[in-house]
Structure 1
């Protein structure tokens, strides 16, 4: 007797996956490899995704945590700084070592750096709303002298902070935060410091906001909501939280289809699916295929925004042409 698969409706969020900053960062590494050959060194994971990192390693990228790890015989090789940004001390160290570096910092992260420096130029102490230890936070704090920035992680931090001058404060935020969490922290700060100065433009990036809105619109009533992303990806972890708050019965983060805990999934009828800004589309396809093997799947696209942003690479790499295979990898479809 032929056994039928249980029906499953997948609500697939759009936008999802790679943002323009991630696309640009990956492209910079691929272009550098094509122009300069192997190896190209990359300080820190270029983006927080193992599939992407391992793919770049196969092409000849070597990932390091500190510039001192580059061997003397490879001092002439390019080194790329990750999309999360770096403290000012890192390019200064590269220059001192006579290294050729390519800065793949996302332009929206660079904008936050400039906003923080603008606050300081106006005589304000800078409050950075973000998560301790995240590379973006380390990079942003490293744009200013020690003591010029205070990290505020929670509402409790906001209530406990005691400034030298309550009338000379400005804030910026990590680009990948939960919009809702940030609003609560900011409200606590503004309640205590009415003269707190905002940045010249929104710090949380368009891609973070768009992905959170898509999940929020889709999550209510779903039996399970899966976010494709890495455990060390801030924007991916925030999407899991957003799905839970928006009404998903269960929400979880997975890096690959092999990580899906089928015993927890059980019998479901509705699945929400999205991906963090550093997760390639090929893994989304892999996960849909895994569900097709167990369920009679119908996919409904849940579109909440259209993204047209495109961040060009630096001029020194614009003379290199990418093949269709290169572009598929850069775009996350291969």
Structure 2
């Protein structure tokens, strides 16, 4: 077992050691991955060792990651191209269609799974694997090197324990499980240390009003990248518009930001009620409590008085960022040309 980094875990504290982290993402699917990546890049707590792309068009997903890293001036971070497995859509691939991956200044690993294994092996500290995608790459890394469980731990957005999507009291087949059930079962059969945010806690996180306005008016190139990708996600060029969202949503609020909770949990859990629960992955993709299942630390509720949405905003644009009380688009104004963004013209 490698040493766990000695860090305080609190924003604003002096960090004794940064947290080595591997990010496994299906960015390009739901837009929350773009928000999560932006948060990670803004948090000095993390030493991002590798970002791997998972499921579907993993090459297009890697191009989105690379373009965002260039915008953030973080091309020191290697990118690994993961396993396709299932044909999952990459809705905002158009944002990076013109990006030439061979021109990325940093390292590109064609075998993302091997890059995960090598990164953990070469670390002198325990590595956090931030799993915000179906567990295809993670299960494959486990097969290649079973010893990975002794040198890393998983923090994941995964499952639905007591609540489902939109806070419903009926549990759901959560996407990161149901889109590769065998992989989820393999990971849950291992002795990996796991901390997860299921839909119970991440399924209602959304920025609205003044909080969201502070993000949209930011001129930070990384934050602008998130909003540009949001426009593509809403519009999906070449596809019918997302029936749940319209262009007006781009000016009013974010979508549900599931993966941002996992990012937070990789540093601290003070805002959350954490319980150890035995969990079982069913054959049809549910994540159900079972005393004989894998013992997983789960964030099942938020503590009273917490304001995680404020935390997101403070990470992305800082506590001193300007606040706006009026709508981003007032009568007779057009502050953001979503039509231009969606057509790929900035």
Q: TM-score by structure 2 length?
A: 0.29
For the pair shown, the structure with the greater C-alpha radius of gyration is: 1
| Structure ranking higher on relative contact order (CA contacts 8 Å, 6+ apart) | 1
Report which of the two has the higher share of helix: 1
